[in-house]
Amino acid sequence: MTALLTTAGPATAPARRRGGFLRAVLRSRKALIGLAIFGVFTVLAAVPELFTPVTEPNKLAFPPALPPSGEHPLGTTSLGQDIWAQLVYGTRQSLVIALVAGFFATVLSVLVGVSAAYLGGLADDVFSMVINIFLIIPTFPLIIILATYAGKGTSTVVLVVLVVTGWSYGANQMRAQALSLRNRDFLESARVRGERRSYIIVAEMLPTMTSLIVANFLGAALYSVLTAAGLQFLGLGDPNAISWGTMLYWSQNQQALQSGMPLWSIAPGLCVALLGISFALLNYAFDELGNPALRPVRRRRRATA
């Protein structure tokens, strides 16, 4: 009976924590709004053909500068392209860039930050110096230089530039959190058992930093959305690609606002803002859920109200 209790206890505790975390996410208004916006863009990116009959958004197939109508909900560009079709099909590349760049920037942040804190000594000094160098370098000029001289015109270059310039802030956070955990009892017991460093970091330390890692990923994705759109708007991406940033680039080149085609500029700019808002809301929500000091304060406020 004692053995049964000891084996059942650890198995049920994580399930309760997972269930409680999921309930907390569903009760968070910020998380729900962020998930709803992100879900809409995910559907648009996955099946754009369901939302527009136009299959070649860049094709010059319509009369130029048409106003919004039933056939063209946002009108057409000065080149004869359907703006709504470009907006729908541009969702995929914008979303993929945000998620892929955010993922790899987060992986790099975790590797450098956690390794520096756990290893300590010379390794910590070297990694900290590298992190600080990237933190103090002016980011946007560096982005422009890298995108220009690395060979502009490809999504791969944009992704590499976003990862290289977007990992240092998260690595600094990871290092600070890992330093606070390095001498905890559960890590000391793992060392006493003779576990490998890689096992201690992956199986013992990282699970306690899950909320911070998720929040870091969302912050990196937000940074990637805005920066990628800025790069493409400046012409440092592929001008022939279908994305919100290239729509802004061509609308600015063709003077859409001055030529009576404001939706050509407003629609992609609004989508960039909404996708950024969804990542920001999810980031704030996970930050609140991961910080144990925030939820009790909110409960006290509700109780006294």
Instruction: Read off the pTM.
Output: 0.80
* Domain ranges, residue 114: 92-237+268-304
Q: What residues pair up with 82 in beta bridges, in sequence order?
A: 76
Task: Determine the pLDDT at residue 291.
Answer: 64
Burial level of 70, CB count in 10 A (0-12/13-18/19+)? exposed
DSSP category for residue 66: P
Q: What distance in Å separates the CA atoms of residue 177 and residue 114, rounded to the nearest whole number?
A: 8
User: Is 39 within a domain?
Assistant: no
User: Is 164 within a domain?
Assistant: yes
User: Is 14 within a domain?
Assistant: no
User: Is 86 within a domain?
Assistant: no
**Reported confidence tier of residue 29, pLDDT bands at 50, 70, 90:** confident
User: Is 255 within a domain?
Assistant: no
User: Is 153 within a domain?
Assistant: yes
Q: What distance in Å separates the CA atoms of residue 61 and residue 81, rounded to the nearest whole number?
A: 6
Query: Which tens digit of pLDDT belongs to each residue from 245-291?
Result: 999 999 999 888 888 899 999 999 999 999 999 998 888 877 777 66
Which among 299, 301, 303, 300 is positioned nearest to 24, based on CA atoms?
Answer: 299
User: Any idea how long the chain is?
Assistant: 305
User: Is 42 within a domain?
Assistant: no
Query: Which tens digit of pLDDT belongs to each residue from 164-216?
Result: 888 999 999 999 988 888 878 888 888 888 778 788 888 888 888 888 898 89
Domain count, the chain: 1
Does residue 163 contact residue 101 with C-beta atoms inside 8 Å? yes
CATH number at residue 107: 1.10.3720.10
Query: Which tens digit of pLDDT belongs to each residue from 114-136?
Result: 988 888 888 889 999 999 988 88
User: Is 225 within a domain?
Assistant: yes
Query: Which tens digit of pLDDT belongs to each residue from 8-21?
Result: 444 444 444 455 55
Q: What distance in Å separates the CA atoms of residue 118 and residue 273, rounded to the nearest whole number?
A: 38
